[in-house]
Copies of this chain bind each other. A is one copy, B any other.
Amino acid sequence: MIYVMDLVGVAVFAVTGAIAAGRKQMDGFGVVVLAVVTGIGGGTLRDVLLGVRPIFWVADQTYILVAVAAGLLTMLTARLWISFEKGLAVADAFGLSLFAVIGTQHAMDAGAPGVVAVLMGVITGVAGGVIRDMLANEMPFVLRGELYATAAAAGSVLLLVFPKTGVGEVLGPALALVLCLAIRLAAIRWRIQLPIFRLMRRP
């Protein structure tokens, strides 16, 4: 069940990577690279930083195959649905929430302290998109856009403090996912932003 949701998250993020490649007029290989990197980048960085071996997609090639397939399908069909792109933002919010919860859980399982576990939740949720934007030679969306990583952090914190005994073992992750999703969807709907830090550019 979690495995299937994880693959859905990878596929959704891979689609956003392929779209970014298309906006930059990349070739077919670029599309596959951005799809794969966006789909598995966050979890990869988390596993490398936590020292988890083997990295999830090295042991199980299904992840790569799903990301490649999602990227190529996007390349072939995007013209048909790209005008309904708002649907993609909603799917992306689901991927973000799922990855934030999974990432926090992995870090807690590896014995990381609380602040580190929250950071790993955020990294798992957003790092794929950050690498995507850097490869596309753009300043990462998440550093200047709407409330995004903060939603992941909120879900992570809830999971961290929720009692883990009895029903909490299932209820905690579920509530964390809902909280993250709710914040992110609200941010999309009402364009909620964090305060901007403005300094003059160096002359």
Contacts and interface: CB of A to CB of B under 8 A. Distances in A.
Interface residues of A, number: 66
A112 B195 CA distance: 45
A25 B135 contact: no
Interface string A15-54: 0001101111111111101101000000010001111011
Contacts of A60: 113
Nearest to A24: B139
Contacts of A50: 54, 58
Contacts of A202: 23
A138 B137 contact: yes
B23 A201 contact: yes
A171 interface: no
Contacts of A27: 143-145, 193-197
A21 B195 CA distance: 12
Interface in A107-122: 112-116, 119
A69 to B, nearest CB: 11
Contacts of A186: none
Given A22-B197, A27-B197, A44 B49 contact: yes
The 6 closest A-B pairs by CB, nearest first: A30-B143, A22-B199, A27-B194, A61-B115, A51-B53, A137-B139
17 contacts: A21-B197, A22-B199, A24-B143, A27-B145, A27-B197, A28-B195, A29-B143, A30-B143, A30-B144, A33-B149, A50-B58, A58-B116, A61-B113, A61-B114, A61-B116, A135-B139, A136-B139
